[in-house]
Structure 1
Amino acid sequence: MNEDKNVYRLQGLTCMSCAAKFEKNIREIQTVEDVQLNFGASKLAVYGDVSVEQLEKAGAFDGIKVYPENQKMKEEKIPFWKKRENKNTMVSLFFLIFGYLSSFTIGEESLSTILIFALSIVIGGYDLFKVGLKNLTKLQFDMKTLMTVAIIGAAVIGEWGEGAVVVFLFALSEALESYSMDKARQSIRSLMDIAPDTAMIKRGNKEFEVAVEDIQIGDIMIIKPGQKVAMDGEVVNGQSSINQAAITGESIPVHKQKGDEVFAGSLNEEGFLEVRVTKRVEDTTIAKIIHLVEEAQAERAPSQQFVDKFAKYYTPAIMVVALLVALIPPLFLGGEWSEWIYRGLAVLVVGCPCALVISTPVAIVTAIGNAARKGVLIKGGIHLEETGRLKVVAFDKTGTLTEGKPEVTNIVSLSNTSEAELLAIAAAIEKFSQHPLASAILRQAKKEKVQEYTADDFQSITGKGAKATISDITYFIGSPKMFQEMVSIPTELQTQITDLQLQGKTVMLIGTQSEMIGYLAVADQVRKSSLSVIQKLKELGITNTVMLTGDNQATGKAIGTQLGLSDVKADLMPQDKLEAVKSLREQHGKIAMIGDGINDAPALATATVGIAMGGAGTDAALETADIALMADDLEKLPYTIALSRKTLNIIKQNVSFALGLKLLALLLIVPGWLTLWLAIFADMGATLIVVLNSLRLMKTKYN
């Protein structure tokens, strides 16, 4: 089925009920096997053989335009008041005012006044009636059907003026809701416009301007000062400061030179660069971000699933209540038919679930889009909500709380072997290792220009160290724990090791199976931002901050004390980290694990929310984590938690307000105070307040 999948972008998708109807219409096309509509991202995936014309026909009721995903949409910047439907609304308002002037001068029951109100109703409600009457014939009861019945009912019982007010307010509500959703979706559109459509490509001695779709991997891009990078690539010539805030959220430009990676959409500030293209246009980091953000906005958050389920039963229930209000008093209590039909119509209008249905998705869409612009990729509403409920944050140490660039601080020989030779043996073994501490040894060996040995039969000993053969002798390098299993460590040496560990240094012993010939001490520098991040988390109420590290207890404790962490779990193998996360989840509930997304993948997957750092540089981080901090910047963590909490609060406010206002309006029926125009005003007011409340998320900051 996937072979026939086609993805389209949509224009003119105004409301949730319109989206549901559009999806239903597409399903009825015989050649369509399945369809998935993403309202938040205004995107459509269709499985089966179907043309753009057929899809636009399915969306003709709402004027929906359909474009293939890879085709640039020609977005017409039509001012709000110049759109056809909005012009109709303004003409409708003109006749509505004229109608009320007429009713005051010649009477509301005169034929002239009725005709003026009728004109207002027909002009303002033309699009509404076209859909509503069609739905009525098919017995499909959505928002537009309810409104159509209410307006026709008002006209039948002679309430022409109120009918015209309802039409105008409903049209205005639809226009403002559409405008607000467009504002919420703007975050994705702004991401799409970040990378240029063309790039200067150098082939031989000639330079050509080439569309990004036609650029091949291996092509050389020319990027002049002030130009944006069009494709992901690697610098092969030149150096410059690159502003990559659009991708990673970093406010300070990053210096790039030969061998460094640059991202599509970043801005070259000063130097001239030649960059070898490493990814196709659909695989660039910005393309992945856009795709993941859109997928995230399509995911239904738990609160949205609840609201959708509730609305499913709520709408038929309101229709039954409206019918009972209209029939029971006249039939059994001697009430007047016109009065109670009017009240029943008011129930029908106030019962529209617009505000309720849109209360969650507009908040989720806005929050995820806002986060993406600030370099935080949240891969779904569920992860956004779970982050807002966190009780514990567990950190990996190396590269997360620390810089991840450890340095050799001590080289001590315990035998006739010189310090230089000791470093050379260590470097020969660690050349094959992936451990972060290995890079420190290799950098130190290069710096001191020690002799290069060749190591054979390298073998990593998980969580302990490594071994290899150099000049027919098998050497081991690793933790004191590993050597304790082979030889006895003298008390004096054990004291030296403990002293170094208490300073936050990691000690690696070097030797053979029968003796120790020396040791190296390596220290990883704590990030400058780590302390302030932990303090900000405490301000947010997260007092359980735990460090999970493979380092020894003394090193872990030294860093934990320095940062004010509530707990440190050290000497952990990868599987121990997994068990530690499980244990913390059982004890405290919702837990986030933050790491680099590669070594910590099992622990990230087990946590309630897995957060990866440096997502822009690693595909693994983008794939494995629930949230990716695109820059290698821990400062974005408090912002993400603050945004998630604010989103949760706004969703609760929206749902409470939408339901509360409906309930209040329904209570006004008892004394007969609920008029038709007041009912639609309550519905429109609730929808607007819910949308505007959600748009506050666009301004979320955390210093």
Structure 2
Amino acid sequence: MELLRFRMKQLNRFLISNPEILAVVVAGLLMALGFFLEFLQINVLPQVAFVLAFVIGGFSPAKKGVQATLETHKLNVEFLMIFAAIGAMIIGHWAEGALLIFIFSLSGALETYANEKSRAEITKLMELQPESADVVLPDGSYRTTLIAELNVGDVIICRAGERIPVDGMVIDGISTINNAVITGESLPIQAEPGLDVYAGAINMSGALTIEMTKVATETTLQKIIAMVQEAESEKPKSQLFIEKFEGIYVWVVLILAVLLFVGGPFVFAWDINTAFYRAMVLLVVASPCALVASVMPAILSAVSYCAKRGVLFKSGVALEQVADLQAIAFDKTGTLTQGILDVTDIVVADGYDEGRILQLAASIEALSNHPLAQAILRRAADDLVELLPLTNYQEVTGFGVSAEFEGKLYQAGKAKFITDGDEDIVAKGFTLQSQGKTIVYIGEAGHICGFLALQDEVRQSTKEAIAELRRRKLVPVMLTGDNPHTAASIAEQAGIEEYIAGCLPEDKVEHIKALKEKYHGVAMVGDGINDAPALATATIGVAMGEGSDVALETADMVLMKNDLRRILFTIDTSAKMNRIIKQNIIFSTTIIILLVLSNLFMLIDLPFGVVAHEGSTILVILNGLRLLIPPRK
């Protein structure tokens, strides 16, 4: 009993918040009442019930039709339905007229619900960002402040269980955070000082002190909301064509209905009543309701489905085009690779061990900000290496760094920076260098005693994605500014056969143009500022979610988690969406043709025409909503 009351309350709230559906329910009840009164053979009252059903159910469609006509100066399908329903009632078909409006308003309510269902994702996203945050004051106390009033550099406290209110960097505290809303990744990550965090993410355990790095209007969450809104407002070519076609088509149907009424008695030997009845049936069955609803519910559902899984689109047009891609160009650093150098090999001369070489390298590079130095220091920290107290640091630009310890000279850098080198060690270094690795030689008292090889590792997800793309006959291409050796090595690891090294930003643009001449659709995937021109030039620009703001703003599609496998999921979704749209268009057009021909040969009457035509509209909308359902694993 309690469950029933709960369900009834849910239903009441749903109907109150959806007045269009409430009107349909009331119209349906009045329809049922009218049929019941007819069954009891009561006069007049059934007609009153049907007229009320017509007025209540038809108010919203009529309002939409009038508003759209005033805005566009074109007739629309709503007018066809109203004319047909009024005509049916004029000739005494009260039930059929009311039934037509009831089913038409039901299909319209379903379409509105479909649109609102996808837009509800935006509302949910907006609700994820807290309205206020506790700002840490200089004396250590807290002041609750509206998010809109915060500035970059403000320090806030986020407690366990709370949503992170701003984009910022953790400066104190250790916790785990759930970034699912931003990246689509369900596994929590470790949060510690130095980690960038996003507004809307959930702080799951400890308290975090966060320094704000972006104003509220420029957070990653706000960008997600803006992109989804933009995607749902921009209509693809197929929908624009249907809307343009609709205005002309409505006039054609009206003219044909008049000609059928006037010419029916002469061509088909009908009487006036039959001719008028058939003209009204034509208005119903020839209306392009299902055709008009073939595209947008499917696209809105697909955009919403992708957004919930961490793939954002700026337009439905872009999502429509993804399935037609034939080639995908990739930037290297941060796209195919981790974007962070790692020590992959430590090679030592006789009399040394790996621990000693790593200790010397880290001690020499301790004061450097160079990416190579930072990678070596990370490895040393991971291995708990104790640094030596070196002195007399000297950096020779383009060659390396030297320092002294207990009267001995130590060096880190290129082989020629160190006076004497072991030929075997140098040869091994050249071998690894030919594999695309960067070599840092370590010298003691002018002799090479070993080296470290560093490389930006290819992501495992990249290898899987490239293999699947090739299996699907898509052509992966790598465009990179790196030297040919590094480019060849990374391409081989990733499984890419075609690559172009030494690319400047303008070179990438030219290569994208060349690919577009060769292939039907070309995507460019990148994450840096230097990728932005190529992203804009490609058929589809794809930005990695952790990339630069310029890349994010330029791209048509954003992978919120740096996982190229999501491109495969998006291609599948795009292909499914396009199939559904084609199914809808073919199905709705076929139904219209069959119903129009059946009407001319007097094979159908008005009630069947109403149910068949409006039923096809409902089926088309429901078919589009299938995109909201996750595929079975």
Same fold (TM over 0.5): yes
Alignment correspondent of 2:595: 665
Aligned 1:574-593 pairs, distance under 5 A: 574-593=505-524
The CA distance in 2 between the partners of 1:608 and 1:187, in whole Å, is 27
The yes-or-no answer on 1:206 pairing with 2:110 is: no
Letter of the 1:528 counterpart? Q
Is residue 435–residue 489 contact of structure 2 (8 Å, CA) maintained in 1?
A: yes
- 1:99-248 to structure 2, matched below 5 A, reads 99-104=34-39, 106=41, 111=44, 113-127=46-60, 141-203=75-137, 204-248=139-183
Say if 1:88 and 1:372 are closer, same or farther in 2 by CA, change over 3 A. Answer: closer
Amino acid at match of 2:213: T
Cα gap change, 1:132 to 1:196, in 2 (>3 Å): closer
**Structure 2 vs 1, CA of residues 550 and 494 (structure 1 numbering), >3 Å: closer, same or farther?**
farther
Q: Measured at CA, do residues 595 and 477 of structure 1 come closer, stay the same or move farther in structure 2, by a change above 3 Å?
A: farther
How much has 1:394 moved relative to structure 2? 2.0
**TM, length-normalised to structure 1:** 0.74
Q: Residue 662 of structure 1: CA displacement?
A: 1.9
Q: Deviations over 1:283-310 (max 9, x none)?
A: 2211121012111221222222222232
Letter paired with 2:521: K
| Conserved? CA contact 2:357–2:451, under 8 Å | no
Say if 1:303 and 1:341 are closer, same or farther in 2 by CA, change over 3 A.
same
> In the TM superposition, what whole-angstrom CA distance separates every residue of 1:7-39 from its partner, at most 9, and x where no partner exists?
xxxxxxxxxxxxxxxxxxxxxxxxxxxxxxxxx
- Once residues 188 and 436 of structure 2 are traced to their aligned partners in structure 1, the CA distance between those partners, rounded to angstroms, is 32
**Residues 485-523 of structure 1: per-residue CA shift (max 9 Å, x gap):** xxxxxx99997566224544245899xxxxx9x997432
Residues 369 and 133 of structure 1, relative CA distance in 2, 3 Å threshold: closer
Percent identity between matched residues is 37
The residue matched to 2:524 in structure 1 has which SS?
A: strand
Q: CA deviation at 1:247?
A: 0.8
Q: 533, 541, 562: which is aligned to 2:465? A: 533
Counterpart secondary structure, 1:79: helix
CA separation in 2, counterparts of 1:280 and 1:318? 54
- SS of the counterpart of 1:303? helix
Q: 1:177, CA displacement in angstroms?
A: 2.4
Is the 2:341–2:457 Cα contact (8 Å) retained in structure 1?
Answer: yes
Q: Is the 8 A contact 1:429 1:468 kept in 2?
A: no
Give 1:238 shift. 0.6
Which residue in 1 is equivalent to 2:571?
Answer: 641
SS in 2 for 1:196: coil
Task: State the 1:531 CA deviation.
Answer: 2.1
Q: CA RMSD in A?
A: 4.1
Q: Deviations over 1:507-563 (max 9, x none)?
A: 5899xxxxx9x9974322221222222233245x24422223334444444443444
User: Which structure has the higher relative contact order (CA within 8 Å, separation 6+)?
Assistant: 2
CA distance in 1, matches of 2:582, 2:346: 56
In 1, distance between residues paired with 2:67 and 2:119?
Answer: 30
Q: Is 1:680–2:610 an aligned residue pair?
A: yes
Checking the alignment, whether the CA contact within 8 Å between 2:286 and 2:595 is kept in structure 1 is no
Q: 2:620 matched to 1:690?
A: yes
Q: Give secondary structure in 1 for the equivalent of 2:156.
A: strand
What secondary structure does 2:34 align onto? helix
**Structure 2 spans left out of the alignment, 5+ residues:** 1-10, 350-355, 404-411, 418-422, 443-447
1:426 Cα deviation from its structure 2 partner: 10
* Aligned AA (2:463): L
Are 1:523 and 2:455 matched, yes or no? yes
**Do residues 560 (structure 1) and 491 (structure 2) align?**
yes
Looking at structure 2, the residues matched to 274 and 587 of structure 1 have their Cα atoms a distance apart, in angstroms, of 52
**Residue 49 of structure 1 aligns with which residue?**
none
CA distance in 2, matches of 1:686, 1:188: 30
Count of residue pairs brought into register by the alignment:
594
Is residue 601 of structure 1 aligned with residue 529 of structure 2? no
Contact 1:228–1:265 (CA under 8 A) maintained in structure 2: yes
Task: Identify which range, 112-121 or 637-646, moves more after superposition.
Answer: 112-121
Contact 1:221 1:274 in 2 (8 A): yes
Q: Which amino acid letter does the alignment assign opposite residue 160 of structure 2?
A: P
Secondary structure at the counterpart of residue 669 of structure 1: helix
Amino acid at match of 1:189: T
2:213 maps to 278
- Where in structure 2 are the equivalents of 1:427-506 lying within 5 Å? 431=369, 440=375, 453=393, 499-506=431-438
User: Is the 8 Å Cα contact of residues 346 and 676 (structure 1) preserved in structure 2?
Assistant: yes
| Deviation digits for residues 365-392 of structure 1 (CA, Å, limit 9, x no counterpart) | 2222222222212111221122111111
SS of alignment partner, residue 183 of structure 1 = helix
Gaps of 5+ in 1: 1-75, 459-465, 484-490, 511-515
Deviation at residue 313 of structure 1 after TM alignment: 2.2
Match of 2:283 among 336, 339, 348: 348
Matched to 1:601, the amino acid is A
CA 1:184–1:680: 2 relative to 1, 3 Å: farther
- Counterpart CA distance in 2 for 1:254 and 1:100 is 62
Specify the code of the residue in structure 2 equivalent to 1:244.
N
SS state at 2:129 partner: coil
